[in-house]
Structure 1
């Protein structure tokens, strides 16, 4: 952005430099992590869109009678592009920026078509620069995303450490765990796109293959971390009776977390990785303590011994994965056996549907994006109308605030409105103070550019701080052009307050899209994904053999849908209490789904890493019963409208089913002389019983909403 401006001033063609600068700025939102081809296409489409919008915007010098409907229609059409996914929403944002800022600057020396084409040239300039940077440092986005994934995984393990043993704030920790799991799932998706699609297009490379294998280890670390050999209640009782085990397992998880953070800090310096000595010593201590516990206790504590043994086995698997990550980061040469075939990998990538019919299907008030586009277009027209009516200095600042703040989600719009106002007030206060100390246009320019860089770098991490630096940047850049800077600051604050207020008001009362309207579908999607994952696990346990790719694909889908459900519930929790119907029941369904996935992760991890015995007829019978319960819950969810009150007198009468609990009794398990068989029997039957209980609990909850 700065380069064209400087060149324009140096060559006495400031208008040309400014147009190219605008084009680069408007196309930059599409430059996010992902496959290079996708980034290039996104930036190119942004460039085409901003050229078209700038050309139309060049003829906005018309009567307000015509301008308002055109402004509203264009806003709706551009915002509606977001139905095609995340990258499309960024292209849409570029178009909205171009639309709004076409009011900000009208070239006095260039024709409309010349100005529009130069803006397109700015987009191409940014595309070339982005592509060049990729080829200069092709590993940058992989390393950055991988580092963030390591850090999030470390945080996840740290919260799991806190959850060991009875906790007074377990619900809060569970919410934190779900939020981090959602973030991890997003990072996993980004890494899949970068590593798998890049590998498909460029062929096998030692670097990409190593990073792909590291990514697989991180996915399995997450699955194993979620896994629990028993439910929390039994663990609480065990650790309450034997606190030394709680301390040892917490120490183990803490060390895992510290090591992952250390690896993230020195990703390409394997010699600086921490040694395995602390972990090895902790494992030896635990093994000795567990063996001592077994020898000193009678048959009634044999189940607790198996529980500890299985929990220790999970941590050993984590240790193996950690050691493999360290080995892979040491840049070993891989053999042909280490490479993963592309035909397996492509099953893990979901392609975006770009069918034009999607536009027609979403032209309905059932579509969240449709309602958001309508809401945004009305807010933009109102904002511009208010700016004209009160004769503000820069009325387009109001609509710029609106398009930056407004999101399809009520909670996010509310948060961004608040952060935008606070950030603007802080920035205006700082700018006012600096204006009295500095009166040099060159310093204004330097501070403005530096503030813009800081603002862009913080926009995803801390929007409040980003808004502060954006305000500083805008004010100091305007200070070069406008002698009365205090007036600029005053209007900047007023316009931001009006834009934020309009965003919140229209979001609250104009075609609101409350999460309660979609939460049932989110629960159903998560449940279906869990059911498919369970069916894959059950089939693999019965048939044995190599681990099928379908099991891992279903695992990915289960984690993804659980992440979507967690995000949907989080959005619902941020909405007004009057729109949070049955939130306790819905929260319970979310938690049960997560517990169900944790149990599936336990089974999946165990049967993939151990030789298992032949599946009994009881196993098949119970699997069928759990599957049947899940299907019934899905059927009931189809008919539930969470917006309506629960029918009076609704009750649940489960079909009689006698779970064969004799399989998990201390006596039955201890009858075998094989410890391996005992551990398998304990874990598999514990998990089956837990899955059955959870499926019955979900059936009972959803049945409350069905009338007699």
Structure 2
């Protein structure tokens, strides 16, 4: 049932609907071309539609339109230029290098620009397949433009026919990822679990969720206009706010697992209650994911409130026996209870918004407020100039791609390959800026091509019918596009099948097509992989300092905002929340950079253990900051003491020095960690005036203040310890990388 449900979700997915759209817009002009005996015209229109398709990425519909139209202009211009490249190899190859570099270099403007760049590269490579004797170059370029506009109109029409489809799908994915994130946190409670593995998985899920949140913000806010769907989008924005809060609430409740194991060892029955509730929350999120499009309401309060009541009753048992040894368990359990109570509250609110809330009962989020959380892409031409050097990864990638394309086409020409542009096609698809992704794609591409060629060989041996080939070619093309983002190896298999069957319609010797397809793909993959090793490689250890520094700066700014808000409770928390989002984003970027680093050759993994530890410390530091931020925003707290301000100053000093070290800036050596620690501990008594014991606190009803003192003092000490470790690791990493880079 689970597999069948996943299959149904796949058929409903945006990936599949986009692939069907590509199949229709590509096949229709070919069929019309055959019917009217104008196959060359049909192929040109087909190519235009095919080359514009990569620009149709998830996100704001406005951005999609701009990207597809930009790709349209680019492919028309490149197709026109490509039509006049029937030159000798000595002239053609350098021109190919310049054009490839120029098109690849567009990627300096970000993700969507990279997709437009890819469309241009496709148009350049496949212009070699055009025969000007059948269709004049200007006519070919014109019909390519018609094909791109045809695809654009199909995308617009589909959007207005199904305006909610992509939003709903990404929400479904976000529900499921959030559910899995909470479930992994529940598994971490088990003392015999593989916590290193689970924490690594948790970090990856966090990165994916942050990405989904970014896409949904863009789709809901930048598309939000005065239309019939404004109420729908307003509701979805409210749901997104709850999902973001669920993630950040989870992250803001870090757990000291060794201490937790000791406490649960003495109070074993508590563990079951907390773990069972978090699994139930996870289960309900999964149910929302699969029923979000239905009108059926789901009642979560009835199911989850008894679990909260049971936990609360157990905690009250400790409160009724206020012994000294019960203080630590009580405070830990009380914090865990409040965390899960908050998650249930957010879950109930999601259910209310989706199923019960009336429009007049909702307080929609102000659009201008949400726009502050959306990072705008800088498209200023100065980016072209500032990145025009070997320090820029975009410049290096463009240069690497251009040289590899020249070498590939040169080999194909010298050894008289049947279709040397197939080598180029493999290169532009496989060659990525990072070593790890290029290596994976090269392997998957070769394996997928071999599998696809084998399947095609069997089918061709059994059938010799062009209508069968046409049907299989179309189905393979749709499956290839639908699997590109899910499983590249499978996508490569279907790409090979579609190419072989399409050529099988036009060429009599399909077996020869299969042979050359394998040879060209293997050669292109080998050249791509070799290029990442020898042509201006962008090893992650060379850029890891930048990622580390950005992460530390974001965390320091977040700490500044927390301190400012603690000192001025009446302050608007917008800047605090924006700094929190920035800190999450930069920590996620650091994790991605580290994952790229560990995929590279062992010889290029400089101080990988120290970097891993620093990534782990950064996540822990952010969790602790988020915990402080969440507590002071959601509780009535006492005034910030001089000890609090002093502790924050010490922590910020450690971060500042670590940032300076990574930026190669001289720092004052007399401010030693030992001196800091002594100063920090001497101010411990000033951190909070609440110093009475558990029993007295319960008697006078001030256990809330005791909880505040315990949490804030504990987080400050933890943050100081983490910041000192971060500084020491920054010194080690910088020394190693400076010596070997």
How far residue 24 of structure 1 moved from its aligned partner, in angstroms, is 0.5
- Counterpart of 1:532 (choices 544, 557, 564) is 557
CA RMSD between the two structures: 2.1
Q: Separation in 2 of the partners of 1:440 and 1:654?
A: 83
Residue 378 of structure 1 corresponds to 403
Alignment match of 1:73 (pick from 75, 88, 98)? 98
Tell whether 2:506 aligns with 1:481.
Answer: yes
Gaps of 5+ in 1: 642-650
Q: Quick one: distance in 2 between partners of 1:49 and 1:500? A: 26
Find the partner of 2:72 among 8, 33, 47: 47
SS in structure 1 opposite 2:296?
A: helix
- Which whole-Å CA distance do the structure 2 matches of 1:316 and 1:202 have between them? 37
Deviations 1:262-312 (A, max 9, x none): 101111225253644332222122122222234356212212111100111
Counterpart selection for 1:428 from 443, 448, 453:
453
Q: Which residue of structure 1 aligns with residue 16 of structure 2?
A: none
User: Would you say 1:241 and 2:266 are equivalent positions?
Assistant: yes
Give the equivalent residue in structure 2 for 1:115: 140
Separation of aligned partners in 2, 1:421 and 1:300:
63
> Of 541, 544, 548, which residue of structure 1 is paired with 2:573?
548
Tell me if the contact between 1:82 and 1:88 (Cα under 8 Å) persists in the aligned partners: yes
Q: Report how far residue 414 of structure 1 moved.
A: 0.4
Q: CA deviation at 1:697?
A: 1.4
Query: Helix, strand or coil for the counterpart of 1:349?
Result: coil
Given candidates 679, 699, 723, the residue that maps to 1:657 is 679
1:584 is aligned to: 609
The alpha-carbon distance between structure 1 residues 705 and 556, as it changes in their structure 2 partners (threshold 3 A), is: closer
Matched pairs, number: 698
Residue 548 (structure 2) pairs with residue 520 (structure 1): no
Does the Cα contact within 8 Å between 2:254 and 2:623 map onto a contact in 1?
no
- Deviation at 1:494? 1.0
1:84 aligned residue: 109
In structure 1, the partner of 2:152 is: 127
Name 1:699's counterpart in structure 2. Answer: 727
Contact 2:299 2:351 in 1 (8 A): no
Q: Which runs of 5+ in 2 are unaligned?
A: 1-25, 667-671, 736-741
Q: Does 1:493 align with 2:511?
A: no
Q: Which moved more, 1:484-493 or 1:465-474?
A: 484-493
Quick check: 1:165–1:239 contact (8 Å CA) kept in 2? no
In the alignment, is residue 612 of structure 1 matched against residue 640 of structure 2?
Answer: no
Residue of structure 1 equivalent to 2:10: none
Which whole-Å deviations, capped at 9, do the CAs of 1:434-483 have from their partners, x for residues lacking one? 12222211011101100110110110110011001111111111111122
Does the CA contact (< 8 Å) of 2:324 and 2:693 recur in 1? Answer: no
SS of the residue corresponding to residue 680 of structure 2 reads coil
SS for the counterpart of 1:102 is helix
Deviation at 1:200, TM superposition (A): 5.6
Aligned equivalent of 1:232: 257
Post-superposition shift, 1:620? Answer: 1.6
Give how far 1:666 is off.
Answer: 8.7
Preserved contact between residue 50 and residue 95 of structure 1 (Cα < 8 Å): yes
Q: Decide whether aligned partners of structure 1 residues 168 and 325 sit closer, same or farther in structure 2, where only a CA change above 3 A counts.
A: closer
TM-score, length of structure 1 as denominator length:
0.95
Gap change, CA 1:133 and 1:439, over 3 Å in 2? same
What per-residue deviation string (whole Å, max 9, x for no partner) do you get for residues 180-222 of structure 1? 1111111111111111112267699211111001111111100
Report the alpha carbon displacement of residue 27 of structure 1 after superposing the two structures with TM: 0.5
Query: C-alpha offsets along residues 77-120 of structure 1, whole Å, 9 cap, x if unaligned?
Result: 00000000000000000001111111123243321001001101
Please report the TM-score for the alignment, with normalisation by the length of structure 2.
0.91
- The reply on whether 1:280 has 2:305 as its aligned counterpart is yes
**Residues 1:6 and 1:445: Cα distance change in structure 2 (over 3 Å):** same
Q: Report if the CA contact (8 A) 1:30-1:46 is conserved.
A: yes
Q: Paired residue for 2:382, among 357, 367, 373?
A: 357
Instruction: Work out which of the residue numbers 668, 678, 695 in structure 1 matches 2:706.
Output: 678
2:83–2:127 CA contact under 8 A, matched in 1: yes
Pick closer, same or farther for the CA change 1:654–1:501 going to 2, 3 Å. Answer: farther
TM-superposed deviation, 1:591: 0.6
Distance in 2 separating the partners of 1:331 and 1:373: 53
Aligned mate of 2:531, from 488, 500, 506:
506
